[in-house]
Structure 1
Amino acid sequence: MSSPSQTLLDQQRLPVEMTINPASQEPVRLEKPQKLLVILDLNGTLFHRNDKRKRTIFQRPHLSVFLNFLFENCRVMVWSSARASSVNSMIKTGFGRNAGKLDRVWNREHFKLDGVDYHRKVLTLKDLEFVWEEIEVERQSATVEELMEGNKYGMHYDQTNTVLIDDSIHKSQLQPYNRIILTGYDLERYKSGTDIELLKVRYYLEQLTMQQNVSAYIKRHPFDPTDKCFESAEFIDIVNNALSLVNSKEQKRARKKAKRLAKMHEDKISIKLSLATSKNTNDMENTEGVKDSDQDMVNADSETDSGQDMENAEDTTYKEQDTASPSQSAADSAKTAHLKIDG
């Protein structure tokens, strides 16, 4: 007797007739959208990296709108032929809080290249079978709750519900009806400032989420950025809303920049006032110090003069004591003479 988990796994597998060649089936539109597995390339698709020395990363226009749609409606992972450090840098640059919502992140190590080819510039093929196999292995050990519809392992992923978004037709050649090939994002497109490719992919993905078998639909209606559907009023509304959001963000950035500059200006004025106040305080302290010094000198001079006066007074007293009056001297002389006669 099979376990509840195994029963769910069996029920979620494709009918036998659809496993033969899913892309050959007629497209069937669903009543409600399904949660597709979307595999994202990075460089040339969502970003442009300039020369190897600077490694500046430029985001493709409307990336945030595109990613918000994906994470709200799809299961999303990254698969890039770049090395882990470069992949992490691009994700950090453009995904923001959505980075934590990624189902998994694959880099060059996941191409199963040998040691020599890993370090060489060789063609790397993205075989979606690797992805499906890994998810299926995880599902084998998932709980019944995790296998319930709407949860992480509630869907069996395969050719009918997986989309690879890339700018390379060669890397995605193994599953040609599971890919959306974008025009590569390069420096020229970055400078033009008019790129709306991600908005077109978003619109196309909306159609795919309503398909029972995306490979059947893609085979008959491959993504074409010049398609007439991108002239529809519905798509024009999407573009206008995205541009409005961009303008709003630019205005916010401008206001933040203005506030930052104003704050810097205020800080400079505050520093100047502080320095001026400090200088005035020092000048006042120096002035008071000079005054005190002058007063001390005056007091010292005064004390010197007083001492001199006292010394002069004492000298006068001594002189007065030493000098007898003429009459007293005559009397003393006469007395002395009388004593001598008597004797």
Structure 2
Amino acid sequence: MSKKVLAPTKAYLNVVNKGSITLKEARKDQLLILDLNGTLVSRNRKNKSMYVRPYAQEFFDYVFENFTVMLWSSAQPHSVKYMSRIFRHRRDKLVAVWDRTSLDLSTRDFNRKSSTIKDLNKVWKHFDGKYDATNTILLDDSRQKTVLQPYNAIHPTEFEHHSTAFVSSGESELLHVMEYLSAIQFQSNIAWYIKHHPYHNLPKNNEKNIYKLEFYKFADNWENPPQVVDFTPVNNLLNDFSSIQIK
């Protein structure tokens, strides 16, 4: 038996193709949906901790000022609770926090690593039609999760603190996402704009790249500030040498 092919509906594509007008003033009625792991944080499952993507706090300052912000992660509820610490005092400004329970998975798939889809129709229904394809943005590193509404999604490079790309070159992609969002703010139809002006990832080497990351242990007191870990190559080299025991 063949698997059902997931694709955008005709009704969705009709909205996408309506065109967009560049407005004189930025809109204040746009919904930005944020993912967590791989997009804003890099989780370390072994010791139950996480590293936060560079420039996250600058990014949060910008998006909470200019968008209505929601969180939607495919992680388990307890993991979402811990990871949402990155928002600090802004957490109360999230209009909704959705986790794996919102994905309508079978019990088997819920408790294992499985493919998931974020259907924005569910979000739009939740908000009684206040949001739709013209004013919704989903920030998620996974293209597979957004197949039903592909032109409402921005896909930054997956963030992994241990990846060769980050360790060798650092990171500044959230600044690039902010620039893209600043253009979207003036569009009457987000889906049309993303289809015709898709987001492109930054080159690995960028002058604004940094190596310092906020680090949280899930077991730490929530009142504790994050540690700052410097992954600058020379520091990594020093750390490697410091771990060598001379016999």
Q: Same fold (TM over 0.5)?
A: yes
Cα distance in 1 for partners of 2:110, 2:153 equals 24
The correspondence for 1:40, drawn from 18, 27, 34, is 34
Paired AA for residue 211 in structure 1: Q
**Count of aligned pairs between the two proteins:** 199
Aligned ranges 1:127-166 → 2 under 5 Å: 127-136=119-128, 156-166=130-140
**Percent identical:** 39
**Greater shift after overlay, 112-121 or 81-90?**
112-121
2:87 to 86, 95, 103: 95
Matched residue, 1:175? 149
Q: Which has the larger radius of gyration?
A: 1
Q: Are 1:67 and 2:50 matched, yes or no?
A: no
Contact 1:60/1:190 (<8 A) preserved: no
Tell me the CA shift for residue 217 of structure 1. 0.4
Work out which of the residue numbers 180, 187, 191 in structure 1 matches 2:167.
191
TM-score (norm 2): 0.74
Contact 2:50 2:83 in 1 (8 A): yes
Distance 2:188 2:91 in 1: 28
1:21 to 6, 14, 20: 14
Which secondary structure does the structure 2 equivalent of 1:21 belong to?
helix
Equivalent position amino acid for 1:48 in 2: S
Q: Which of the pair is proportionally richer in strand?
A: 2
Going from structure 1 to structure 2, the CA distance change for 1:46 and 1:176 (only over 3 Å counts) comes to: same
Q: Where does structure 1 lack aligned partners over 5 or more consecutive residues?
A: 1-17, 138-155, 247-252, 255-343
For residues 201 and 74 of structure 2, the distance between their equivalents in structure 1, rounded to whole angstroms, comes to 24
- Quick one: distance in 2 between partners of 1:113 and 1:180? 24
**1:146-205 deviation line (CA, Å, top 9, x unaligned):** xxxxxxxxxx21000000000101011110100001100012255346211100001000
**Alignment partner of 1:214 is 2:190:** yes
TM-score between both structures, scaled by the size of structure 1: 0.54
Correspondence list, 1:109-124, <5 A:
109-124=101-116
Cα 1:174/1:19, change in 2 over 3 Å:
closer
SS at match of 2:180: helix
In structure 2, give the amino acid aligned to 1:39.
Answer: I
- Aligned partners of 1:73 and 1:64: how far apart in 2? 14
Distance 1:88 1:190 in 2: 26
Whether contact under 8 Å (2:26, 2:186) holds in the other structure is yes
* Paired AA for residue 81 in structure 1: S
Measure, in 2, the Cα distance between the counterparts of 1:83 and 1:216.
33
Give the counterpart letter for 1:85 in structure 2. Answer: H
Q: Is the 8 A contact 2:119 2:148 kept in 1?
A: yes
Partners of 1:226 and 1:204 in 2: CA distance = 11
CA deviation string 1:40-77 (max 9, x = no partner): 01000000012x22022000000000011000000001
Query: What's the Cα RMSD here?
Result: 2.6
Gapped runs of 5+ residues in structure 2? 1-10, 215-226, 229-247
Aligned with residue 85 of structure 1, among 78, 85, 89? 78
1:225 CA drift (Å) = 1.9
Deviation, 1:121, is: 1.4
**Corresponding position of 1:53:** 46
Compare relative contact order (CA 8 Å, sep 6+) and give the higher one, 1 or 2: 2
